[in-house]
Amino acid sequence: MTKVITIEIKDWTVTGDNIKDTVLSLSNWVYELTFERIYKTRTYAQNRLLWAIYTLVACELGTTKDWVHQFFWEAFLTDIIKLPKDKRRKLKIIKSTTKLDTKQFKEYLDKIIYFCNTELELKIPTPNNDEQMIWIAEQMEREAKTKGSYYLS
């Protein structure tokens, strides 16, 4: 695994091989370094698990995966803000699942799994890693197929 260190100083960036020379050339300066974790966008496993959950819920409720997606999307990714000039008016902002990073997507999945387990009494385990997500997704996809539902498309 290759490690890349990026240091951003005003308008330029130093990466990889030339970092040592660059830092040494700046030895007369005082710097403050801030390290912040940058999360990648959702993983394939996260997305597959999400749609497997949608499929199972759609089969249970007798609806479509797209309807389930819309339901959870509005339930858990919507922010309502009051407009500054008129507090009576509100603006509805819905985040896109495609824009969520891995941490945000995990939080979204956790909310959906909790809802399914408590409100719909579907027993969906909470996965700890991508391999478990794929395995759980495969189990749910099999279960949905055994129900013989046309909602799988």
Query: pTM for the complete prediction?
Result: 0.65
CB 53 within 8 A of CB 112: yes
pLDDT at 150: 45
pLDDT at 133: 81
Task: Please give the Cα distance from 112 to 118 (Å, whole number).
Answer: 10
pLDDT at 151: 45
Of 119, 14, 92, 94, the C-alpha closest to 111 is 119
User: Tokens for 74?
Assistant: 């509005």
CB 98 within 8 A of CB 38: no
> Half-sphere exposure (CA, 13 Å, Cβ side) for 58?
24
Task: Please give the Cα distance from 81 to 73 (Å, whole number).
Answer: 17
Please tell me which of 1-10, 32-41, 77-86, 98-107 the model is most confident about, judged by mean pLDDT: 98-107
Task: Please give the Cα distance from 145 to 114 (Å, whole number).
Answer: 23
User: Tokens for 56?
Assistant: 């199972």
